[in-house]
Homo-oligomer: A and B are copies of this chain.
Amino acid sequence: MAEPSFSLRTPEDDDIPRRICDSCGFVAYENPKIVVGSVVRHEGRILLCRRAIEPRRGFWTIPAGYLELNETPEDGARREAREEAEAELSIERLLAVYSVPRISQVQLIYRAQLKTSHFAPGPESLDVALFAPAEIPYGELAFPSVHWALAHDAEAKNGAPPVPFANPPGETGNRMPDGRSIAPGEG
């Protein structure tokens, strides 16, 4: 069997170059991806997962991942919490819609509560823990959007109206709040 080998060419009925396989002619249309995740609270503390996989292995994140085919975003957010943290969620509402155009991501982030007190690291997590707001390891968070989601969750808890939050003004997910740039692929 030949190996797949792609060139960037524009299909006849299109106006954007797409990756087309030189061996078989398959057009690999690429679309932005949907990330679904949750800020999960339990008795006033927040559930975070320490990533066992790249990018940002060893850093802390909220349970989140790619939406699968034929899945609702809420089902996807519950599945990701189950896979990464063995946690069963009760979803309250949509908290935020972020976009990271550099890596073609749209993120739908929910507010949720743990249904039971059980949680444990799944295969993609080194550790899972509950943090009181003052104990959150801000210097070791994986992505800019994890900062945004935790800040927006705190605003919502303090009575902000239930609008979905969006990217902070001028931010496109390319740098951490301290100004450090985040390398390509690490958004």
Interface residues of A (CB under 8 A from B): 1-5, 16, 21-26, 28, 30-34, 66-73, 75, 93-94, 97, 99, 101-102, 104, 106, 108, 161-164, 166, 172
Q: Which residue of B lies closest to A172 (CB)?
A: B72
**A67: which B residues are within 8 A, CB to CB?**
31-32, 106
**Contact among B24, B31, B97 for A24, CB-based, below 8 A:** B24
Asked whether B99 lies within 8 Å of A72 as measured between CB atoms, the reply is: yes
**A69: which B residues are within 8 A, CB to CB?**
30-32, 104
Q: Which residue of B lies closest to A69 (CB)?
A: B104
Q: Which residue of B lies closest to A162 (CB)?
A: B163
**A164: which B residues are within 8 A, CB to CB?**
94, 97, 163-164
**Bound Cα distance A28, B101 (Å):** 22
**Bound Cα distance A102, B72 (Å):** 9
CB contact under 8 A between A104 and B25, given known A33-B31, A161-B162? no
**A99: which B residues are within 8 A, CB to CB?**
72-73
**Bound Cα distance A112, B99 (Å):** 19
Nearest Cβ on chain B to A167's Cβ, whole angstroms = 8
**Bound Cα distance A26, B106 (Å):** 25
Nearest Cβ on chain B to A92's Cβ, whole angstroms = 12
